């Protein structure tokens, strides 16, 4: 005797729920169609014709929304956490993540990017660990903390950008009598959704040798000479071998671009807008496989053209003030403020920097994005709006 296979699911137990609706391009609603949909539900099937508008929209519709976080308030709350929350094993880091208001309370700035303020009290150590998530630190104010990457103590000072590819041992120590805050950027949401992450605890304490406070790390002494690649370089590993991109070089590059523009030789991406990308000195690629980092300076009175891009970005105001517009939202921003630009939302910035709020006479913006992922997958697209 032959029997038909019996489904393991009943329509009532299925997470799939289908509703027959009338509309252009949709089948006529009949009892037979309803019966078909119950069969789909029972077998965990979803027909494309009921989902195409959501799965294949005419342009990206990000789940994230534009939002701004004020540095003054972030730092105030981080200081309170410094008094209440230990930095050792357990929480592992005193890092407080930005949670985009439309992502259900998850600690994600965008669907692919993590951004957080990290706070270290005087004399504290953040214990050693490593993870597959690619990461960086950017310092908007202060000095006195050393991050120790693979045993190499790296100083952290205002304006410094410190990338660190995944699966490298790292710890932090504050060698001063003052607390220090900075921002962390990681690809945690991307690795979370792709289920690719690994994490491992390291030593609880770093050695006395790693507690030294050199002005230049070993990585900088080897790789920090413009245009010069050491012949002793080890085989290529993911991410930049240079562990600190110092502010003095970033500032000089931006100033020279604007001087060249003033002299009539170009050099800027648009009038009054200088910009640089942090790059891997080994081959000129992005500093991290999944994260791109840039620095922009917009001179007082200049305004950038609105630009849309696939993929998302997080910006931090390093210096100056101005008005930023993301989609239909606009905010006045000042030093330290962070804001999010979701995928395909138009972004522009107008500088209102003056002598009282700017060291360099412009609106200075640090930016990081998920652009390398989109470029690797050939999904990158850029559009300048009129």
Residues 6+ apart with CB under 8 A from 381: 309, 310
Under 8 Å between Cβ of 196 and 285: no
- The parts of the chain modelled with pLDDT lower than 50 are 1-4, 6
- E strand map for 210-361: 273-277, 292-299, 307-309, 313-319, 322-326, 329-333, 338-341, 347-351
- E strand map for 159-291: 161-164, 170-174, 180-186, 199-201, 273-277
How buried is residue 13: exposed, middle or buried, by Cβ count under 10 Å (0-12/13-18/19+)? exposed
First CA to last CA distance, the chain:
72
Q: What is the CA radius of gyration of the chain?
A: 25
How many Å apart are CA 271 and CA 301, to the nearest integer?
11
Under 8 Å between Cβ of 13 and 42: no
pLDDT of residue 24: 86
pLDDT of residue 360: 86
How many Å apart are CA 107 and CA 145, to the nearest integer?
25
pLDDT of residue 91: 79
pLDDT of residue 8: 60
Under 8 Å between Cβ of 105 and 99: yes
* CA-based nearest residue to 184, from 197, 172, 196: 172
For tokens 């496989």, name the residue.
Answer: 289
Q: What is the DSSP secondary structure assignment for residue 194, as one 8-state letter?
A: T
pLDDT of residue 25: 83
How many Å apart are CA 287 and CA 250, to the nearest integer?
15
Q: What backbone phi and psi angles, to 5 degrees, belong to 159?
A: 90, -10
Task: Determine which helix (DSSP H) or strand (DSSP E) holds 382, and give its type and residue range.
Answer: strand 382-384
């Amino acid at each position: 005797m032959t029997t038909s296979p019996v489904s393991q699911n009943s329509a009532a137990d299925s997470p799939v729920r289908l509703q027959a609706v009338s509309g252009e391009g949709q089948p006529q609603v009949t009892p037979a169609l309803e019966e078909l949909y119950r069969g789909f539900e029972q077998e965990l099937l979803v027909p494309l014709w009921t989902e195409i508008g959501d799965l294949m929209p005419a342009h990206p519709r990000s789940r994230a929304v534009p939002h701004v976080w004020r540095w003054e308030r972030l730092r105030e709350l981080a200081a309170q956490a410094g008094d209440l929350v230990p930095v050792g094993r357990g929480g592992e880091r005193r890092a407080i993540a930005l949670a985009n208001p439309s992502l259900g309370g998850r600690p994600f700035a965008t669907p692919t990017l993590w951004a957080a303020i990290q706070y270290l009290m005087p004399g504290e150590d953040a214990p050693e660990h490593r993870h597959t998530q690619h990461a960086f630190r950017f310092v908007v104010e202060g000095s006195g903390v050393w991050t120790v990457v693979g045993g190499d103590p790296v100083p952290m000072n205002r304006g410094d950008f410190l990338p660190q590819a995944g699966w490298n041992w790292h710890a932090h120590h504050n060698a001063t009598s003052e607390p220090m805050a900075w921002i962390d950027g990681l690809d945690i949401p991307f690795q979370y959704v792709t289920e690719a992450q690994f994490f491992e605890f390291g030593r609880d304490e770093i050695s006395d040798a790693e507690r030294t406070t050199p002005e230049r790390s070993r990585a900088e002494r080897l790789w920090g000479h413009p245009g010069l690649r050491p012949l002793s370089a080890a085989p290529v590993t993911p991410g930049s071998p240079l562990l600190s991109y110092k502010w003095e070089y970033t500032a000089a590059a931006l100033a020279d671009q604007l001087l060249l523009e003033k002299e009539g030789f170009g050099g800027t991406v648009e009038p009054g807008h200088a910009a640089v990308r942090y790059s891997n000195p080994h081959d000129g690629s992005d500093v991290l496989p999944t994260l791109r980092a840039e620095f922009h300076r917009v001179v007082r009175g200049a305004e950038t053209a609105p630009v849309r891009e696939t993929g998302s970005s997080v910006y931090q105001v390093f210096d100056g003030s101005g008005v930023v517009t993301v989609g239909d939202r606009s905010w006045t921003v000042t030093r330290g403020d962070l804001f999010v630009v979701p995928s395909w939302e138009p972004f522009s910035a107008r500088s209102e920097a003056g002598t009282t709020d700017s060291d360099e006479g412009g609106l200075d913006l640090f930016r990081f994005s998920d652009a390398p992922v989109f470029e690797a997958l050939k999904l990158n697209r850029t559009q300048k709006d009129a």
